[in-house]
Amino acid sequence: GPLLPLMEATLPGHRTMNPCPVWEQKSGCVYLFFICVRGHVTERQQVVSGRNAARLCFICSRDAGCSWSEVRDLTEEVIGTEVKRWATFAVGPGHGIQLQSGRLVIPAYAYYIPYWFFCFPLPCKAKPHSLMIYSDDLGATWHHGSLLKPMATVECEVAEVTGRAGDPVLYCSARTPNRCRAEAFSINRGECFQRPALSPQLCEPPHGCQGSVVSFRPMEILQGCQDPNGKDAPTGQQSPLLDSSPRLQQEAGPLSESWLLYSHPTSKKRRVNLGIYLNQTPLGAACWSRPWILHCGPCGYSDLAALEKEGLFGCLFECGTKRECEQIAFRLFTDREILSHMHEDCCSPGRSSEPTES
């Protein structure tokens, strides 16, 4: 159908940014989170001044997006007086998820001001940290979890994975300025995360870029690739993220009940060549596949969606011929395509690990 502006997703005197929807499966309600920023104040201006100009808002739809509720401002309810220590914040952009427990989780980040001089904040020390906003009563009330520290992390997405023992673990993939993606795990459904670690397999371009992650239960298991000598390829090693948690160590194993799919530009130099990465052992370390290039050329932000029963995946992404934000494209692909590309890659040991830039 035609594109229609969501006038419900506005506050007077504010501009709407960073959409982040989540679907509540029991009621069929879609919650669309976003921030409303006062006037033309930029994120940089808020960080430099230490004065937040953003509001946390959402609207919801119970008829698959045909109609929407009035906007609800959650800033006071979720953040409260703590907003004084947040130079600014945002949700998404991307998608939230509903956990097996029923909890709704919205990924977010905040520029936290750790130091004050008497009654005055010191915004020069403000540092971004990812966090989760969540609801345990089907969206009636919302709360926020702890900041992901100590590393600087910005836009993030989360996915729930299940290890061999069957206990769910929340995986977080976050953008960083450190030229590599940050990864962290939570065993209490996102209220707090263990210390994050950088993933050398998932590179970031200069200044980083948003990326997307989804979990899914594979309908068919890809047999282990073999090296030229006929031996099974290694499945990865224990993650340093798991050292402090015996439970997570128990969950980690050669193959997980849940796999991860991740989308992100694959170049270390600039935002080009959107890649799809597969992880068959999410609780292990160095288990990401080489990327399957979904789009060659300039690309930017992306968002993945999974239809497990149908074996289908969708990716919405920014792309262009000269710049990454010329258009928004959508690509549908199957689990068989993913496994086929990964199988071709791991059976070609001489293949370069980094795609050739156009």
| pLDDT tens-digit map of 37-66 | 999 999 999 999 999 999 999 999 999 999
Virtual torsion, Cα 304, 332, 166, 145, nearest 10 deg: 10
Residues near 172 by beta carbon (within 8 Å), at least 6 away in sequence = 107, 130, 148, 156, 157, 158, 182, 183, 184, 185, 186, 190, 193, 196
In contact, 301 and 93? CB cutoff 8 Å: yes
Q: Above 90 in pLDDT, residue 137?
A: yes
274 and 330 fall within a common domain:
yes
Q: How confident is the model at residue 119 (pLDDT cuts 50, 70, 90)?
A: low
In a domain, 62, yes or no: yes
CA distance 89 to 128: 9
Dig out the tokens for 78 from the structure.
Answer: 């979720």
191 and 90 fall within a common domain:
no
In a domain, 301, yes or no: yes
pLDDT given for residue 121 in this prediction:
67
In a domain, 228, yes or no: no
Question: How much of the chain, in percent, has pLDDT values that exceed 90?
Answer: 73
157 and 134 fall within a common domain:
no
Q: How confident is the model at residue 233 (pLDDT cuts 50, 70, 90)?
A: very low
Q: Above 60 in pLDDT, residue 300?
A: yes
191 and 129 fall within a common domain:
no
Q: Which helix (H) or strand (E) holds 345?
A: helix 335-346
Q: Above 90 in pLDDT, residue 148?
A: yes
117 and 209 fall within a common domain:
no
Local structure of residue 44 (DSSP, 8 states): H
Mean pLDDT for the stretch of residues 141-161: 97
**What's the structural domain count of the chain?**
2
Q: Above 70 in pLDDT, residue 225?
A: no
36 and 129 fall within a common domain:
yes
Which of 86, 119, 140 delimits the end of a domain? 140
Q: Above 90 in pLDDT, residue 351?
A: no
Q: How confident is the model at residue 347 (pLDDT cuts 50, 70, 90)?
A: low
In a domain, 344, yes or no: yes
pLDDT given for residue 255 in this prediction:
58
In a domain, 116, yes or no: yes
- Give 3-23 pLDDT, tens digit per residue: 888 999 999 999 999 999 999
169 and 311 fall within a common domain:
yes
Q: What is the pTM of this model?
A: 0.88
pLDDT given for residue 122 in this prediction:
75
pLDDT given for residue 239 in this prediction:
47
CATH assignment of the domain containing 319: 2.120.10.10
328-344 CB burial, b ≥16 within 10 A, e <16: ebebebebebbbebbee
49 and 134 fall within a common domain:
yes
- Give 172-190 pLDDT, tens digit per residue: 999 999 999 999 999 999 9
Q: Is 225 exposed, middle or buried (0-12, 13-18, 19+ CB in 10 A)?
A: middle
| Residue of 306, 331, 309, 333 whose CA lies nearest to 318 | 331
Q: Above 50 in pLDDT, residue 98?
A: yes
In a domain, 238, yes or no: no
Q: Is 229 exposed, middle or buried (0-12, 13-18, 19+ CB in 10 A)?
A: exposed
Q: Above 50 in pLDDT, residue 165?
A: yes
73 and 167 fall within a common domain:
no
90 and 162 fall within a common domain:
no
Residues near 339 by beta carbon (within 8 Å), at least 6 away in sequence = 220, 222
pLDDT given for residue 240 in this prediction:
46
Looking at 132-141, 223-232, 252-261, 340-349, which range is the least confident one?
223-232
304 and 174 fall within a common domain:
yes
| Residue of 169, 183, 25, 32 whose CA lies nearest to 96 | 32
In a domain, 250, yes or no: no
pLDDT given for residue 256 in this prediction:
67
Q: Is 185 exposed, middle or buried (0-12, 13-18, 19+ CB in 10 A)?
A: buried
CA distance 249 to 285: 11
Q: How confident is the model at residue 317 (pLDDT cuts 50, 70, 90)?
A: very high
In contact, 301 and 209? CB cutoff 8 Å: yes
- Supply the range of the domain harboring residue 40: 10-95+109-140
152 and 114 fall within a common domain:
no
In a domain, 39, yes or no: yes
